[in-house]
Structure 1
């Protein structure tokens, strides 16, 4: 919170910062903050713009692959299909599903009185 708001968390323990104010500041931290990444994992770093850009890249790669495959000579084998852009929080077919972060459980004690 010091990086984004200039508020020291120790002010809560000193009595100059209320628990409600800390909760509001934490709730509205940007998605690229360390707190948001710990709470929601790396997928919180990607917003709508990043997902749309990855989708555009995937569609362009598929279009280029289709064009190349259609214009490959008859005796030659077409190129391999493109690999999608890796997205955070999306597991591959071989990988296990990512485990949820325990950040909410770690901070539950802080907001118990709200």
Structure 2
């Protein structure tokens, strides 16, 4: 398809807008508009959430089964998602930042009380 057809009058504005609106997820236009987020479909987001939940479950299990005198483990970092600011980004382009949630990481005693 030649986009100059719109300028020549043989391609209507409505048809052009429908073609642009229904471009494939990995098209250059979508990549330019949405960046890395076009590579993440619902399955990828669900997989990242599953990995995050498994990491937290492993952290809780290890924390519960470690001795009282052992040093507390670091809470697991979530899988980086597209559209979130990261300290590793070296570019000056603005990125969407979601408001941070205040995380209270449970202590071994809190976990023992919960699972008791």
TM over 0.5: yes
Structure 2: tracts of 5 or more residues without a match: 97-116
8 Å CA contact 1:68, 1:78 repeated in 2: no
- More relative contact order, 1 or 2 (CA 8 Å, 6+ apart): 1
> Structure 1 residue aligned with 2:37, among 27, 37, 43?
43
What value does the CA root-mean-square deviation take over the aligned residues?
2.7
- 1:39 aligns to what SS in structure 2? helix
Aligned length: 93
Q: Distance in 2 between matches of 1:42 and 1:80?
A: 29
2:23 paired residue number: 29
Q: 1:85 aligns with which of 79, 82, 87?
A: 79
Tell me which residue corresponds to 1:74. 68
TM-score normalised to structure 1 length: 0.64
SS for the counterpart of 2:45 is: helix
Question: Of 11, 14, 26, which residue of structure 2 is paired with 1:17?
Answer: 11
TM-score, reference length from structure 2: 0.63
In structure 2, C-alpha distance between the alignment counterparts of 1:85 and 1:91, rounded to whole Å: 13
**Which residue is equivalent to 1:106?**
none
Q: Could you tell me how far 1:14 is from its partner in structure 2? A: 5.2
SS in 2 for 1:85: coil
Distance 2:94 2:16 in 1: 32
